Structure 1
Amino acid sequence: MNSPLTLDTIVIGAGLTGLTVGHHLLKDPNHKFTILEKEERAGGQIRTLKKDGFTFESGPTSGIISTSEVADLFEDFPNLLNLATPLAKRRMILKGQEFHPLPSGLISAITTTLFSTKDKIRILGEPFRAKGTDPNESIGHLVKRRLGESYFHYAVDPFIGGIYAGDPEKLVTRHALPKLYALEANHGSFIKGAIALMKKKKTEDEKKITKAIFSSHEGLSTLTSALSDEFLKANSLKLGALNIEVRFREDLQLWQVTFYVKGEKEELFSRNLITTIG
């Protein structure tokens, strides 16, 4: 049997993750790859709409430069980066019938009425509390155990709701918030872990992590469109790829991916497979 035409990599999913993977692969001119997307558009959950001079986002509206990879991406598309003003750091939490600013430092954390006096005192013992033993502990259970009920209700719950639109009582910490999980797992405490990280000398990549809130000029879709245009020009993106089936061919030691585009069956082989879908 003749060896089939083989790609280096097939990426399934053209949301921001898949597009970013492709952008990285595109930097190697000798790396042959294709991105498959079932929709007729790239971008995944990111979709910007415009009407009567207004811009709307049907998905996420912003992000945070929390990894060096995000910073590197915008270095390649500097004209698209739109950083939020410092006022965006002021977050308001509804408690009862009033909005309260989320504490941003030690003094405001002590004086805020968001957290109960009991929990403010209890947090002093956080560095000495025993580590959890359940690797699948939920965010809600972890925060209540280490910090207290009020920290969960008026800090963590709104934060998780804004990011995941999910229930922190069900989300597993090590998957949803791996950095928070690592503070306790590696240092025994949130406070001890935070202090250790402050003392650690930052690498050049870590210095890029500004935690700044960003969007993209004219909406986040301009970013995904800029990425997808690269692949369309290089013929490395297939939209409308339906009924995708994947199997590993032991006889060839290759991934075999079959799918349909406009009713026509297509088949690809690759040495590597990256899937960004659940």
Structure 2
Amino acid sequence: ICILMKSIGIIGGGISGLSAAYYLTRLAPSVSVHVFEKHSPGGWIQTMTKDGFTFETGPRSIRLNLRSREVMEIASQVGCLDKIVFSSKRVADSQIYADGELFRLLPEGQFRMLKGILTVPIYRKLFLLNFCLPKPRAQPVEDESIPEFMSKYLRFWSEEDKKWFIETFLDAFQQGIYLGDINKLSARSCLPFSHMFMKKYYPSKYHPYKDIMKNPDVIRTYKKGISMKSNAFNFQGGLSTLINALLENLKTYPNFTYHETGVTSVKEHNSRGVISTSKENFEVDQVISTLPSNIFSGLL
């Protein structure tokens, strides 16, 4: 399809838009690719540095799993694979502040786990209801939100416990990864242990990643993270390091153009897309939007 196209417009210069441009420039280097972004490149991914400290205003890290090897592959191609920094602490060391106290999200180790079960009422109830009794059987569905899945997969002592677990515990856990509304996030795609239950509960269209990266540098980096028992990674200088490296690499392609301007409207004319900005109009063969649907609908 790309061979028949001469130009593609991508609305949004976040990680989705830049990743789409990355693959397009390699799949069809003769096609003109235009990316439009009115804010700083990166979208939700924005890194700040102050007094020697690095702060992520959006997502704080990338989970280390089979899918993250795709990110490592991109990092390798744009020259920042060697800047990957693996977390030295597992997510079990993460804490949340709720009800006037700090406690670990996921206690690690037999002693900490036992202590958590004995001292934290919600952990104790979940353990008794879900590990000492047979698990509830869930009917296979195409997909559902994370709260919907958890409501079926776990037993709760009361509606109050269920609300606390989902809105406090689970929301804090997912915010550190996806920075999104858990009521709108897909359980199929987002739950880190999804590969363990998909065949049983969601067998219809789920296929675990079976591809094996051929890049030896990516394999070496991935194995390093696994050997460290890390479950997440970032980059020296923050996640914006990846964004900046990706954008600079794209700018080396003669048919790639990055427009630091917002899009005011998207129309169709003679079976082609017309992307309008405050300065000029661009006619393209295909339009890719990485904007939230409620924002993109306002451009149509």
Change (3 A) 1:54 1:240: same
Q: Which residue of 2 aligns with 1:266?
A: 281
1:48-102: CA deviation from partner (whole Å, max 9, x where unpaired): 2334444333323322233131121222222332222236652224454443332
Q: Which residue of 2 aligns with 1:193?
A: none
Gaps spanning 5+ residues in structure 2: where? 293-300
AA in 2 matched with 1:265: E
AA in 1 matched with 2:73: D
Matched, 1:162 2:203: no
CA displacement at 1:104 relative to structure 2: 3.6
Q: Does the 8 A contact of 2:63 with 2:177 survive in 1? A: no
Q: Which residue of 2 aligns with 1:222?
A: 241
Q: Does the 8 A contact of 2:25 with 2:33 survive in 1? A: no
Q: How many Å separate the matches in 1 of 2:194 and 2:91?
A: 26
Q: Does the 8 A contact of 1:18 with 1:276 survive in 2? A: yes
Q: Which residue of 2 aligns with 1:247?
A: 268
Q: How many Å separate the matches in 2 of 1:240 and 1:27?
A: 25
* Greater displacement, 180-189 / 84-93: 180-189
Please list, as runs of the form range in 1=range in 2, the aligned pairs for 1:18-33 lying within 5 A after superposition.
18-28=17-27, 30-33=29-32
Please list, as runs of the form range in 1=range in 2, the aligned pairs for 1:113-262 lying within 5 A after superposition.
113=117, 114=120, 115-124=122-131, 128-132=135-139, 137-149=144-156, 152-153=165-166, 155-168=169-182, 170-174=183-187, 177=190, 184=197, 186-188=199-201, 203-205=211-213, 208=222, 210=226, 212-234=231-253, 236=256, 237-247=258-268, 249-250=270-271, 255-260=272-277
Q: Does the 8 A contact of 2:12 with 2:35 survive in 1? A: yes
Q: Does the 8 A contact of 2:13 with 2:35 survive in 1? A: yes
Q: Does the 8 A contact of 2:138 with 2:152 survive in 1? A: no
CA displacement at 1:40 relative to structure 2: 5.3
* Secondary structure at the counterpart of residue 69 of structure 1: helix
Q: Which residue of 1 aligns with 2:116?
A: 112
Change (3 A) 1:89 1:25: farther
Change (3 A) 1:273 1:31: farther
Q: Which residue of 2 aligns with 1:103?
A: 107
Gaps spanning 5+ residues in structure 1: where? 190-196
Q: Which residue of 1 aligns with 2:296?
A: none
Change (3 A) 1:38 1:19: closer
* Secondary structure at the counterpart of residue 251 of structure 2: helix
Matched, 1:84 2:100: no
CA displacement at 1:266 relative to structure 2: 2.4
What is the number of residues matched between the two proteins? 258
Q: Does the 8 A contact of 2:107 with 2:113 survive in 1? A: yes
Q: How many Å separate the matches in 2 of 1:202 and 1:28?
A: 22
Q: Does the 8 A contact of 2:135 with 2:153 survive in 1? A: no
TM-score norm. by structure 1 comes to 0.72
Alignment identity in percent? 21
Greater strand fraction, Structure 1 or Structure 2: 1
Change (3 A) 1:259 1:212: same
CA displacement at 1:240 relative to structure 2: 0.9
Q: Does the 8 A contact of 1:48 with 1:219 survive in 2? A: yes
1:194-216: CA deviation from partner (whole Å, max 9, x where unpaired): xxx9xx99652498595632222
CA displacement at 1:185 relative to structure 2: 5.3
Q: Does the 8 A contact of 1:246 with 1:258 survive in 2? A: yes
Q: Which residue of 2 aligns with 1:70?
A: 71
Q: Does the 8 A contact of 2:13 with 2:42 survive in 1? A: yes
Q: How many Å separate the matches in 2 of 1:148 and 1:155?
A: 15
* Greater displacement, 178-187 / 94-103: 178-187
Q: Which residue of 2 aligns with 1:194?
A: none
* Secondary structure at the counterpart of residue 44 of structure 2: coil
* Greater displacement, 177-186 / 66-75: 177-186
Q: How many Å separate the matches in 2 of 1:6 and 1:249?
A: 14
AA in 2 matched with 1:264: K
Q: How many Å separate the matches in 2 of 1:275 and 1:96?
A: 41
- CA RMSD of the aligned region, Å? 3.9
Q: How many Å separate the matches in 2 of 1:223 and 1:125?
A: 45
